[in-house]
Amino acid sequence: MPTLTDITLRNLKPPQVGQKTYVCDSLPGFGCRVSPGGTKTFVLVHGDSRQRITIGRHPVISLSEARAEAKRILAEMTLGKHRPKSITWSEALKLYLAACEQKNRIRTVRDYTRLLKKHFPFGRKWLTEITKHDIIRAIDRLTVTPAEQNHAITAVKIFFKWALRRGYVDHSPCDGLQTSKRPPRERVLSEKELKAVLKTALKGENTFSFIVALLVTTGQRKGEITALRKDWVDAKALTVTLPATVTKNGRTHTFPCGDMTAHLLKRVPTSSDEYFFPSTREHVRGKPSLTYNGWSKDKLAFDKSCGVLNWTLHDLRRTFASNLAALGVSLPTIEKLLNHVSGSFGGIVAVYQRHNWLPEMRDAVSKWEGRLACLVGS
């Protein structure tokens, strides 16, 4: 078409379907894309790969401002200044997740994959075209689930830091975005609540009940107990060893089993030769599933049965630690049982402290299981 003017810009006809680009003859590659709804966006198409750069929407940006910006970009290209490599969101995401698999734990890769694919469906959109507004619009949909929103923000910020290092973008559209600060949970189950939860778990015969019982007796994390494999349990030494691939801090963790824990592990009904809690479904949300994944439905049924409300599975870990302290167990021993590397074992101590603390942990577990036996027996 002829040179774009303010008059011709106002008279551009929106297409019935798709988007139509009106190219300005006076400036190579410069033009205006019009959507079926009449939205007008200034663009510049350049290079052998015909990469399209979005300059901005009209009337937020005027025609003269858009033309000046297009000339500046073309001048930079002519002078050989850096422009980001042409790549789409889908292509970049594929490369990023492949890089993650080389250095991150399986669980981390799985979480990044889920968060980025589910909440940021940018598809074939050029990475350089993704704006801060696009990111904010995506995360605003998660305001009713603040924890998920925070995880999504963290994941996309890390992704764009990677893209920036690779030269795919000149700046991150996530600059300035912050996760919302939530007060830390302080819930510790009362003696009455703990008794109700443990009694219900010990009476149950389903997978969820056994997991809950083991969370109470061991104080370990939900994901670690769910992933438990039979070859991680040493029946002779009465210990469980969690490999670095499943622990939160990426460190191998060996802890002792008490009699109650050992009895629970023997009772777990499983058809798998490998896992204590195998998945009953081959795929969950289109992805391979190896271990149990029925939390929401089973938790609701369990709460109704035990009568305890407003608690999470992670509260059992806090309850475990608090009760051990009340039983006179030392803080370093509690931290060893929880596999914490901060606190007593942070800094230089982590380098030189090589005592395994198994005798102390075994004594603590004995005290704890003795207390639990009194609870369920009363």
Largest CA-CA distance found in the chain, in angstroms, rounded: 90
Is the same domain home to 161 and 306? Answer: no
Distance CA 319, CA 336 (A): 16
Burial of 74 (0-12, 13-18, 19+ CB in 10 A): middle
Distance CA 6, CA 1 (A): 14
Is the same domain home to 20 and 65? Answer: yes
The confidence band for 197, taking pLDDT boundaries of 50, 70 and 90, is: very high
Lowest mean pLDDT among 183-192, 221-230, 259-268: 183-192
The confidence band for 1, taking pLDDT boundaries of 50, 70 and 90, is: low
Distance CA 339, CA 293 (A): 24
Lowest mean pLDDT among 2-6, 50-54, 311-315, 342-346: 342-346
Residue 283, pLDDT > 60, answer no
Are the beta carbons of 63 and 50 closer than 8 angstroms? no
Domain containing 199 equals: 191-377
Strands (E), 226-377: 233-234, 239-242, 253-256, 283-284, 287-288
Domain boundary among 48, 79, 110: 79
Is the same domain home to 231 and 346? Answer: yes
Domain boundary among 165, 183, 216: 165
Is the same domain home to 347 and 254? Answer: yes
Is the same domain home to 256 and 367? Answer: yes
Q: State the DSSP code for 47.
A: T
pTM of the model: 0.58
Q: How many domains does the chain have?
A: 3
Segment 157-179 shows an average pLDDT of 91
Per-residue pLDDT of 20-74, as tens digits, reads 999 888 888 899 999 998 999 999 887 666 777 888 888 888 999 999 988 888 8
Domain boundary among 79, 114, 134: 79
The confidence band for 285, taking pLDDT boundaries of 50, 70 and 90, is: very low
What is the model's pLDDT at position 49?
64
Segment 275-292 shows an average pLDDT of 67
Is the same domain home to 340 and 271? Answer: yes
Q: Considering the domain boundaries, does residue 201 fall inside one?
A: yes
Per-residue pLDDT of 215-258, as tens digits, reads 999 999 999 999 999 999 999 999 999 999 899 888 899 999 99
Residue 323, pLDDT > 70, answer yes
Is the same domain home to 339 and 218? Answer: yes
Residue 84, pLDDT > 80, answer no
Distance CA 104, CA 267 (A): 34
What percent of the chain shows pLDDT beyond 90?
57
The confidence band for 348, taking pLDDT boundaries of 50, 70 and 90, is: very low
Q: Considering the domain boundaries, does residue 217 fall inside one?
A: yes
Helix axes 259-267, 358-377, angle to 10 degrees: 70
CA-based nearest residue to 198, from 212, 219, 187, 188: 212
Residue 159, pLDDT > 50, answer yes
